[in-house]
Amino acid sequence: MIQMSFASLAETPADAWVFGFVGDDLIVDADGQLPPADLLRALPLTPCFGIADTDGRPCITRQWPADTVLPAELGVASLRVAFEHLPPPLYRLATRAKLLNTWDRQHRFCGACGTATELLAHEAARRCPTCALVAYPRLSPAVMMLIHRGEDILLARSPHFKPGVYSALAGFVEAGESAEECIHREVMEEVGLAVTNLRWFNSQSWPFPHSLMLAFHADYAGGDIRPQAGEIEDAQWVSKQALREGHSSILLPSPVSIAHRLIRHALD
């Protein structure tokens, strides 16, 4: 069981898991693993705070500016790359650390009166000493939906995707909107289709920068594909059989993403 601990720490315990970040990238050793805490002591002092305790071992996050020079035996990796090397429990903690670092960095000053905020010791929160406004870590819910039409699924690509990569549709939930309402709106806006029979799949914390992905399957209910200008570069029905047998030129999203698992679930 993981117990939260948000105390400011003057020194890093020798046995701690340290999730150090230079800019948005995780500090790793030559094997892509978390380095021992001692290797980070040579770096400039920065604020640090606990993010969890796991099996009695403290887990701490620290962050340094993007231009920080690391010891020769250390390097950095994006969280997408770190996924290939870290054990799943540590990768989940690294994801949490990045989310909390982003929140901590973006809430140093009160959004109501501009006063410098203070990190609370007993919970993940920053409090304004002047107006008492409390800022908690931000989460931005987003839905993802894979649309089925018989033996085909709808895959689309955004202009910022890597060449050849297609994925399920996705979009952020707007204020006052349910996840289900968001699915119907986003599908109609992005590709001009109606859907029905929404089925929950799974969720994923996605720290780019602070999303919570809510993934669903859905069935095609009508309409012709009309990609939304500026949002969808291309969208098409793709045969599940062609994807299973490798007969399609389409590339799937990275295995680190819930989009990959959602599509694989449909194929399997």
Domain boundaries, the chain: 17-106, 140-267
pLDDT along the chain (268 residues), means of 10: 40 78 95 88 79 80 91 94 92 92 93 94 89 95 98 97 97 97 98 98 94 98 97 97 93 95 96
Topology at the third CATH level for domain 140-267 = Nucleoside Triphosphate Pyrophosphohydrolase (3.90.79)
For residue 243, the one-letter residue type is L
CATH dotted code for 17-106: 3.90.79.20
Same fold, 17-106 and 140-267: yes
Do 190 and 183 meet the contact criterion of CB atoms below 8 Å apart?
no
Q: How many C-beta atoms lie closer than 10 Å to residue 50's C-beta? A: 19
Do 60 and 50 meet the contact criterion of CB atoms below 8 Å apart?
yes
Among left, alpha and beta (phi > 0; psi -120 to 50; other), residue 133 is beta
Q: How many C-beta atoms lie closer than 10 Å to residue 246's C-beta? A: 7
pLDDT at 52: 79
Output the CA angle 224-225-228, nearest 5 degrees: 135
Phi and psi dihedrals of 196, rounded to 5?
-150, 175
Distance CA 49, CA 210 (A): 19
Distance CA 166, CA 32 (A): 28
pLDDT at 16: 81
Do 143 and 170 meet the contact criterion of CB atoms below 8 Å apart?
yes
Do 218 and 183 meet the contact criterion of CB atoms below 8 Å apart?
yes
Among left, alpha and beta (phi > 0; psi -120 to 50; other), residue 112 is alpha
pLDDT tens for each residue of 49-99: 788 777 778 888 889 999 999 999 999 999 999 999 999 989 999 999 999
Distance CA 90, CA 83 (A): 9
Residue 96 CA from chain centroid, whole number: 9
Do 209 and 219 meet the contact criterion of CB atoms below 8 Å apart?
no
pLDDT at 66: 92
